[in-house]
Amino acid sequence: MSADSLDVASRFDVAYVDADGVERSVKLEELSRVKLEAARPVRSFPSYAGQRNYPGWYWSATMGRLVGFESWVERDHLIAIDFDPVVTAVASQPFWLRWSVDGRLRRHAPDFFVRVAGGGVLVLDSRPLDRIGESDREAFQATQQACDLLGWRYAVWGTMNGVVVANQRWLAGYRHPRCMDEAVAAQLREVFAQPLALMDGAELVGDPIATLPVLFHLMWRHELEADLSLVLSDRSIVKAAMGAGGRRG
């Protein structure tokens, strides 16, 4: 960082929880050297009677372990992140960003830290856009400034398209490696070398009860693809993805 950037960065204090559960404080400029995907969430995901949000844990194919979320909007974003083939790591509630405004201490924990192929980083907050208040805007602005200083991208994602969410959630049900059968997969790759209706291709390979889980797993891996902006059905046109080489999961 330049001298001017270091001066701005000094306004921020950062804390994260390492893999051993120890909270550690660092200067903002040191955060880029921390392997945040190995860190623990800086806060818990409480569940109690009457709460308005729905927290939980999602098994990430990218990470091979559970990643937490605090709402269904966050869950939908987490699935989308896990489905994205350029994502190499994801962590939830990765760090506290702390600063002061007019002598008043503020802190904010972004919802997700995402590392992408090539070494890029995205820091993400999930919030329905119509529910962003003044306090949120202040926190998001501070997080944007901190990420800019680190050379990281920052974004606030709102509610996603319902059809895309439903399709990605369906495919996520087949993300685990246990859904893979290489012999069946080889036949499916051959059948869908040319565009074909989903169920027609599944039946050409064998009993759909056995072939569909593998087909959906290959779609999760981006080896087979369909237009996910349309409702996924037995009539969806499926084809081999361009340059498909497989991915995690």
Amino acid 159 reads T
Q: Looking at residue 3, what is its pLDDT?
A: 47
Q: Looking at residue 178, what is its pLDDT?
A: 96
Share of the chain above pLDDT 70, in %: 92
Q: Looking at residue 249, what is its pLDDT?
A: 62
Write the pLDDT tens digit of every residue in 29-79. Answer: 999 999 999 999 999 877 767 666 789 999 999 999 999 999 999 999 999
Write the pLDDT tens digit of every residue in 186-217. Answer: 999 999 999 999 999 999 999 999 999 999 99
Write the pLDDT tens digit of every residue in 109-137. Answer: 999 999 999 999 999 999 998 889 999 99
Q: Looking at residue 139, what is its pLDDT?
A: 95
Write the pLDDT tens digit of every residue in 134-173. Answer: 999 999 999 999 999 999 999 999 999 999 999 999 999 9
- Is residue 184 within 8 A of residue 219, CB to CB? The reply is no
Exposed, middle or buried, 3 (CB in 10 Å: 0-12/13-18/19+)? exposed
Q: Looking at residue 123, what is its pLDDT?
A: 98
Q: Looking at residue 93, what is its pLDDT?
A: 97
